[in-house]
Amino acid sequence: MRVFNFAAGPAMLPLAVLEQAKAELCDWQGSGMSVMEVSHRSKAFVAVAAEAEADLRALLAIPSNYKVLFLQGGATLQFSAIPMNLAPPGASVDYVHTGAWSKKALTDAGRYANVHVVADGAASGYFAVPPEAGWQRDPTAAYLHYTPNETISGVEFGFVPDSGQVPLVADLSSTILSRPIEVARYGLIYAGAQKNIGPSGLTVVIVREDLVGRARPGTPPVLDYQAMAAEGSMLNTPPTFGWYLAGLVFKWLKAEGGLAAAAARNRAKMQALYGYIDGSGFYSNPVAVDSRSWMNVPFRLPRPELEKPFAAEAARAGLTNLDGHRSVGGMRASIYNAMPLEGVEALIGFMRDFAKRHG
């Protein structure tokens, strides 16, 4: 039986995509092999790879002066690859610190560049995005990095920062494809796949052409955007299965009406869940209302000792992985693209019943 999986990542995938992958797993396109067993240089796979890129370009309306790279190493490797590619030795780089993932990004960047924190959410306990008006930006920074959605705390930017002439770099791991974005506002976008794109092991980088070809000496070729772009992300063997499956997810999103339709579905899910939490008198969400995440909804129970029974009973009801991140506790429901509204409604139904029994 399929459950409603509220994991933050690896996360739920659309059932239609899994069914298709299953149907063609052992004999892909009449090859007598699975897609995992064909050469990445074969005509058939190269076509799949190109189609995935074209579909992603169509979904996000990516301008033609941007490269799309399909890489390995997760978003975490990009924490280092970004300064290695965009910051010359000795350069200063701007970071907005809004929670755990931006902290990791700026810590890793500190090994390659002078990191300057332009704003820090500490004053709010990292439960709100610091207002842009108070940011202390360095106009000479090599780039401005931010984390549009902090997956662990459920804190999301309700705006795209205005970085002026400084390239804007965004870790969209947990919010990419949840709604339309204006790619031209960014110098570079990156995302690990395992939240809204496909299986783990694949990382998507969307980078403006003028930022490619600037890697510092000593950058490994697989981390050098220029070297990878020149080879169509096939300088070495790419994560073929992840790339293929991401392509199926992109086709599924297109068939479901593209990102405007995804945004409408995600807004409905998010509003239903926050609306219930706020009105429940039992559950609470600690995040400032204007900084609430569409994709990751943390919530607390009135007494911490209820957390374990809540998670256990929910799992028995087919609602899994509702425990919050080990660093923050509480509960968290991740409701990415593949989570249907019925899953959120089932969760609300369970929460209502649990509150009645423990209120």
Ligand X SMILES: *Cc1c(COP(=O)(O)O)cnc(C)c1O
Binding site for ligand X (CB under 6 A): 9, 74-76, 101, 147, 151, 171, 173-174, 192
> Cβ 9 to ligand X, closest distance in Å?
5
Strand pairing class (66-71; 168-171): unpaired
Contact 289/128 with Cβ under 8 angstroms?
Answer: no
> Cβ 199 to ligand X, closest distance in Å?
11
> Cβ 162 to ligand X, closest distance in Å?
21
Structure token digits, residue 304 = 């911490």
Q: Shortest CA distance to 184 belongs to which of 201, 167, 159, 196? A: 167
Phi, psi of 118 (to 5 degrees): -80, -25
> Cβ 71 to ligand X, closest distance in Å?
11
> Cβ 19 to ligand X, closest distance in Å?
25
> Cβ 237 to ligand X, closest distance in Å?
19
Looking at the Cβ atoms of 76 and 284, the one nearer to ligand X is 76
Q: Which residues lie below 8 Å from residue 260, measured CB to CB, with a gap of 6+? A: 179, 180
Q: Which residues lie below 8 Å from residue 43, measured CB to CB, with a gap of 6+? A: none
- Extract the runs of DSSP E, i.e. beta strands, from 105-147: 114-120, 144-146
278 among known catalytic residues: no
Q: Which residues lie below 8 Å from residue 212, measured CB to CB, with a gap of 6+? A: 67, 85, 225, 226, 229
195 among known catalytic residues: yes
171 among known catalytic residues: yes
Looking at the Cβ atoms of 99 and 350, the one nearer to ligand X is 99
Contact 196/336 with Cβ under 8 angstroms?
Answer: yes
Looking at the Cβ atoms of 94 and 108, the one nearer to ligand X is 108
Q: Shortest CA distance to 167 belongs to which of 208, 215, 134? A: 208
Looking at the Cβ atoms of 168 and 351, the one nearer to ligand X is 168
> Cβ 192 to ligand X, closest distance in Å?
3
Structure token digits, residue 184 = 């031209």
CA atoms within 13 A on the CB side of 273: 31
- Which of the following is catalytic: 28, 101, 135, 252? 101
- Which of the following is catalytic: 108, 171, 224, 323? 171
Distances (CA, A) of 210 to 1, 86, 283: 49, 10, 48
Rounded to whole angstroms, the maximal C-alpha distance in the chain is: 63
Looking at the Cβ atoms of 76 and 114, the one nearer to ligand X is 76
Looking at the Cβ atoms of 11 and 86, the one nearer to ligand X is 11
Strand pairing class (92-97; 114-120): parallel
CA atoms within 13 A on the CB side of 341: 10
Looking at the Cβ atoms of 83 and 283, the one nearer to ligand X is 83
Task: Kindly list the catalytic residues.
Answer: 101, 171, 195
